[in-house]
Chain A
């Protein structure tokens, strides 16, 4: 079975501060890992994905994520957040031939001035 845990339901960060959103996964084979972002009333947008290679993955909007196999983690980071980053962030896991993603419950990010 595949699963994703995002332990933080809600995070508040000051504009300009650094950000780290946590994600732990469970998957029986080599995982594909994703981070998506959802703004209110909208669909999800792909930030980045990882399958193999360099364990530090660069995405759009200045985000990056680091895959740590030993910790079954795929945490999302950004060095300096902007007010426009306020949204809900979802981590997801899947596998080749599976044709479905399992999403975490999401982390809502609030940015304060």
Chain B
């Protein structure tokens, strides 16, 4: 079966712009989580969605937001981009809960210039 699909794979944006990243989970998976990965901070939890509801949120500023659609696809949005937002953004899906074990996508590499 198809894996977790993240689009686009690469993005270059300018400071102050906004960006939307997309994630399609494995068919049948209803939980979608987002992580930011950087060399300095490692993997940091952004948020988790289940049945279109945010169940948990990490310690990121309000510029970072997300949503989930009725087909379980998810998007995350970052507004007013800063240089420090440059990172690999990883989406992970699981059947019901994070503790089921994630399947990760290959990520979106965002570069802010």
- Which A residues contact B (CB, under 8 angstroms)? 32, 34, 36, 41-46, 49, 51, 90, 94-96, 98-106
B16 CB–A CB distance under 8 Å: no
**B104, A44: Cβ atoms under 8 Å?**
yes
**B90, A43: Cβ atoms under 8 Å?**
yes
Question: Given A100-B45, A102-B45, A103-B42, A41 and B99 touching (CB < 8 A)?
Answer: no
16 interchain pairs, CB-CB under 8 A: A43-B92, A44-B90, A44-B92, A45-B104, A46-B103, A49-B101, A94-B99, A95-B99, A96-B97, A98-B99, A99-B33, A100-B45, A102-B45, A103-B35, A103-B42, A105-B42
B66 CB–A CB distance under 8 Å: no
Question: A36 vs B35: C-alpha distance in the bound complex, in angstroms?
Answer: 14
Question: A98 vs B94: C-alpha distance in the bound complex, in angstroms?
Answer: 14
Docked complex: B35-53 residues within 8 A CB-CB of A = 35, 42-43, 45, 48, 50
Of the listed residues B33, B42, B103, B106, the one surrounded by the most CB atoms of chain A closer than 10 A to its CB is B42
Binding site of A, secondary structure by majority: helix, strand, loop or mixed?
A: loop
Binding site of B, secondary structure by majority: helix, strand, loop or mixed?
A: strand
**A103, B43: Cβ atoms under 8 Å?**
yes
Residues of the A chain whose Cβ atoms lie less than 8 Å from the Cβ of B45: 100-102
A-B contact count (CB 8 A): 58
**B48, A100: Cβ atoms under 8 Å?**
yes
**A43, B107: Cβ atoms under 8 Å?**
yes
